[in-house]
Amino acid sequence: MPRVARFPETAAEAAPIFNLLLTNERPGTPDATLFRSAEESGEPVVGFYRCGEGYLAEFSPMPGRPVCGVLEISGDFREGKLFAEGSPSDQVFAINNSLMLLFAFASAARQALEMHASVVMHGGRGFLFLGRSGTGKSTHSSLWIKHIEGTELLNDDNPVVRIVDGTVRVFGTPWSGKTPCYKAQDVPVGAIVRLRQAPENSIARLGTVQAYASVMASCSGYRPIRALADAQHETLSVIATDIPCYELGCLPDEAAARLCWQTVDG
């Protein structure tokens, strides 16, 4: 059954993996652009830059809106300094995104991946649904909850997958997108399923290389930074080898949920 996430048992594990400081001073000017997200309707805009010995990130709630958060990050990803401005909701947006980014970077070396996925729990295991925004991840989770008895939602947007004592587990987080689902629980991962919209329902298991690419496409991080890329590679290799991964071509209907469930958990 799902359980409350365990507290670390040693002093070293109990130490914070990063610190975030709110400041009234705007951070320094970036030196070089490393990444800027595509400006898609309704989606946040994130810029990531080199700044001195560290990095700088900027956040805007959506295209056409001003930057509401500038985050200065140390080179080891352990320290963040955030200048947030705008409305209270804009500042909360900046804080949440700063925490997600720092967590993704700082936890990579601890065999943890922050995922863009919707996750349900069934039979004491977690099932992750991956896909591009608008593919229907939340819809598919809701279909499991409605039609597959004993299913409940763990997280609807940003769960964390981590290898713990050799077992791949999925954790709820404080970040669940538009769905208020904040559960301090974790379960072993039963399967990972990438969704694509299709005129009929079909499912196929992916080979190891395909599984690696599928999971990598939905995990947060910045692979041009070698230390992050190496850490993520080690974790992804274990997941692609140990966890069954599938691609589900689906309609938004009960039959798709039942086909998926019977294949991965039946």
185-232 pLDDT tens trace: 999 999 999 999 999 999 999 999 999 999 999 998 888 899 999 999
Mean of the pLDDT values across residues 98-125? 96
78 and 162 co-located in one domain: no
Judged against a pLDDT cut of 50, whether residue 59 lies above it is answered with yes
187 contact partners, CB below 8 Å, separation of at least 6: 2, 3, 121, 124, 125, 126, 154, 169, 170
| CATH for 182 | 3.40.50
Average pLDDT, the chain: 92
How far lies 108's CA from each of 70, 204, 234, 253, in Å?
22, 29, 10, 36
Mean of the pLDDT values across residues 29-58? 90
Q: 110, 125, 155 — which closes off a domain?
A: 110
169 and 233 co-located in one domain: yes
Query: How many structural domains comprise the chain?
Result: 2
Q: 110, 144, 177 — which closes off a domain?
A: 110
- Per residue in 124-164, pLDDT (tens digit) is 999 999 998 888 999 999 999 999 999 999 999 999 999 99
Provide the pLDDT confidence category of residue 68 given band limits of 50, 70 and 90: very high
43 and 121 co-located in one domain: no
Identify the pLDDT of residue 43: 83
125 and 241 co-located in one domain: yes
116 and 104 co-located in one domain: no
DSSP string, 5-30: PPPPSSHHHHS-S-EEEE-SSPP---
177 and 260 co-located in one domain: yes
Domain span including residue 36: 3-110
Provide the pLDDT confidence category of residue 11 given band limits of 50, 70 and 90: very low
Mean of the pLDDT values across residues 62-81? 94
Q: 110, 132, 161 — which closes off a domain?
A: 110
Provide the pLDDT confidence category of residue 41 given band limits of 50, 70 and 90: confident
118 and 166 co-located in one domain: yes
